[in-house]
């Protein structure tokens, strides 16, 4: 017998998948075999590796060693794809982990070989995830990940059909981002002068500029112009997989933005700079504009763990139900409620698509609907002073409009 290579598909920057089928001495063909080839930077290298693998398969068959088709499980297949995205720089590692963990939430189907999954298994996985307490929105998102994975597998010849094709995911439930009420917001703001350290300024930055937590931690004095005044979002501070701090570029190109600074926030930034300058002088350390605004004079930033711990303790102490990201939601919700243009709100938030901002923050408001009635009245009203009334009277007097009114 011998093997024939059927396909050679690039999976990542240096990863390829080859498929073969055995041809027996009587002319019949056996089941297809799939092999992943690593470390091939171009098609020529991949072809050489594929031929080497074909020779290994034929030698194994000649020695009657036997082998099993190399069909990966769903989660292994998704992991390989997600890792390739990270290697090529298409997504961050945290995003890739989400692609894999979403599959794992669907139960035993994640650990089943791709070619063994049936439509029944997909439906069962949805019921399992819902029974485990996952929301319909989460299950629908994970189902989408699963369906896309099988679509890719079908294109590569790993499965004959997509078992998710005729399955309907749970109906998504519209959810609104949680924001602070007017009383909660006033309570929080009234308590800020009593706080010390980096936390009060971090809260003001999120509530006065709508920036993300990682963006708050990434500000340096180079990003602040006290004369304009304005702040530029240029970097973020996050926690890497190994627990170490990672300073990198913002989430998307749209997140690179320059924002105007409100008066009280500008004053607080000035006070923070004076404090850092005094601290540098006390310890004989030269002040630098490269220092993180919320960090220490040794150049270290305000860590994600420290900020979360400080904010949680503060909210618990004063009975405020809030997480740090809700401050951003509160900022955006208030802007939309006050009639600020959606595109402007999207610029504040660093959203690429203003439509996303509209879907998340613009909700039906009965009071606003009633208030808009005045605009409708203006639209269909004719002012008493409008000069056409005099013209109409003159036309009627001359009999010009008689036919019009008697027909």
Q: Which two tokens stand for residue 183?
A: 């009383």
Query: Does the pLDDT at position 111 exceed 80?
Result: yes
Q: How far is CA 278 from the centre of its chain?
A: 40
Split at pLDDT 50, 70, 90, the class of 58 is: confident
pLDDT at residue 368 in the model: 63
Separation CA 252–CA 348 (nearest Å): 14
Residue 93: CB partners within 8 Å, gap ≥ 6? 86, 240, 241
Mean pLDDT of all residues in 193-217: 95
> Is the Cβ–Cβ distance between 276 and 342 less than 8 Å?
no
Domain boundaries, the chain: 2-62, 74-155, 182-347, 375-407
pLDDT at 348 exceeding the cut of 90: yes
CA–CA separation, 271 vs 120, rounded Å? Answer: 63
C-alpha R_g of the chain? 31
What does the block give as tokens for 131? Answer: 């029974």
- pLDDT at residue number 130: 95
Distance of CA 158 to the CA centre of its chain: 30
Q: Report the C-alpha gap between 92 and 174 in whole angstroms.
A: 27
In this prediction, residue 199 carries a pLDDT of: 96
Pick the CATH number of 182-347 from 1.10.443.10, 2.30.33.40, 3.40.190.10, 1.10.3720.10: 1.10.443.10
Query: Are the CB atoms for 290 and 219 separated by under 8 Å?
Result: no
Q: Tens of pLDDT along 223-274?
A: 999 998 999 999 999 988 777 899 999 988 899 999 999 999 999 999 999 9
Prior bond of 141 cis (ω within 30°): no
- Which of these ranges, 77-91, 109-123, 212-226, 306-320, has the smallest mean pLDDT? 77-91
The pLDDT assigned to 371 comes to 66
Token pair for 191: 């308590």
Token pair listed for 338: 């006050």
Tell me the C-alpha distance between 114 and 153, whole Å: 8
What is the residue-averaged pLDDT of the chain?
87
CA angle 266, 269, 271 (to 5 degrees): 115
Tell me what pLDDT residue 142 has.
96
| Least confident interval from 22-31, 195-204, 210-219, 339-348 | 22-31
Residue 390, pLDDT above cutoff 80: no
Lowest mean pLDDT among 93-97, 175-179, 387-391: 387-391
pLDDT band at 339 (very low <50, low <70, confident <90, very high): confident
pLDDT band of residue 391 (cuts 50, 70, 90) is: low
pTM for this model (two decimals): 0.66
- Least confidently predicted of 143-157, 241-255, 307-321, 360-374: 360-374
pLDDT of residue 287: 95
SS3 308: helix
pLDDT at residue number 406? 52
């Amino acid at each position: 017998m011998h093997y024939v290579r059927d396909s050679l598909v690039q999976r990542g920057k240096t990863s390829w998948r080859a498929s073969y089928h055995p041809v027996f001495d009587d002319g019949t063909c056996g089941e297809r075999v799939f092999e992943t080839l690593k470390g091939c930077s171009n098609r020529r290298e991949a072809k050489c590796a594929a031929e080497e693998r074909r020779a290994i398969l034929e030698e194994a068959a000649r020695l009657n060693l036997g082998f099993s088709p190399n069909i990966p499980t769903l989660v292994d297949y998704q992991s390989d794809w997600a890792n390739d995205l990270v290697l090529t720089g298409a997504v961050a590692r945290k995003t890739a982990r989400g692609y894999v963990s979403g599959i794992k939430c669907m139960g035993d189907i994640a650990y089943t070989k791709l070619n063994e999954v049936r439509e029944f298994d997909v439906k069962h996985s949805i019921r399992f995830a819902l029974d485990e307490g996952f929301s319909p929105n989460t299950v629908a998102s994970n189902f989408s990940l699963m369906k896309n994975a099988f679509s890719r597998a079908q294109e590569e010849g790993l499965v004959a059909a997509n078992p998710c094709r005729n399955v309907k995911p749970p109906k998504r439930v519209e959810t609104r981002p949680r924001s602070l009420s007017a009383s909660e917001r006033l309570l929080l703001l009234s308590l800020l002068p009593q706080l010390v350290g980096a936390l009060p300024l971090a809260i003001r930055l999120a509530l006065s500029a709508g920036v993300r937590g990682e963006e708050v931690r990434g500000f340096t004095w180079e990003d602040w112009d006290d004369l304009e005044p304005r702040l530029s979002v240029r970097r973020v501070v996050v926690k890497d997989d190994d627990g170490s701090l990672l300073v990198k570029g913002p989430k998307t190109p749209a997140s690179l933005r320059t924002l105007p600074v409100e008066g009280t926030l500008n004053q607080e930034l000035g006070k923070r700079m004076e404090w850092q300058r005094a601290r540098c002088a006390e310890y004989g350390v030269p002040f630098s504009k490269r220092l993180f605004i919320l960090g220490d004079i040794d150049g270290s930033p305000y860590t994600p763990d420290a900020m979360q711990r400080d904010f949680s303790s503060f909210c618990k102490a004063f009975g405020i139900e809030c997480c740090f990201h809700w401050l951003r939601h509160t900022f955006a919700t208030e802007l939309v409620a006050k009639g600020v243009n959606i595109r402007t709100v999207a610029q504040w938030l660093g959203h690429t698509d203003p439509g996303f901002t509209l879907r998340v923050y613009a909700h039906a408001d009965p009071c606003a609907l009633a208030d808009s009635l005045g605009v409708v009245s203006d639209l269909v009203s004719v002012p008493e002073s409008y000069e056409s009334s005099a013209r109409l009277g003159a036309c009627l007097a001359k009999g010009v409009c008689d036919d019009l009114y008697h027909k």
